[in-house]
Amino acid sequence: MDAAGKKANTLEAQSKKSGMQSEILAAKKQFGSDSFELVTKGDLEGVKQNHAKHTETIKKCEEKIVQCEAVIACGGETSLSGTKVSA
């Protein structure tokens, strides 16, 4: 693949990374909103369960961000699907 293909891989990874960062922010906001109601009721166990649920989502996003950063770091030599770009 030529320079345009590598650039496309890089742009795709940057876009996906941005989306994952937004998803993390949304999960944290939702956690805060959900937990606010639970704390008001004194439901600490509910807060812990809510935290576990949102932590799982955040960890998955962070794993995808690492993959995106690897594609960006290599200048698009690989794609998010892991395929090596031939020169």
Residues of the domain holding 68: 3-73
Q: What is the pTM of this model?
A: 0.84
The answer on pLDDT for 49 being more than 60 is yes
Domain count, the chain: 1
User: What is the average per-residue pLDDT within 66-87?
Assistant: 83
Residue 57 counted as domain residue: yes
The answer on pLDDT for 9 being more than 90 is yes
Residue 85: predicted pLDDT: 52
Residue 83: predicted pLDDT: 56
DSSP line for 61-77: HHHHHHHHHHHHHTTTS
Binned at pLDDT 50, 70 and 90, residue 44 comes out as: very high
Extract the runs of DSSP E, i.e. beta strands, from the chain.
Answer: none
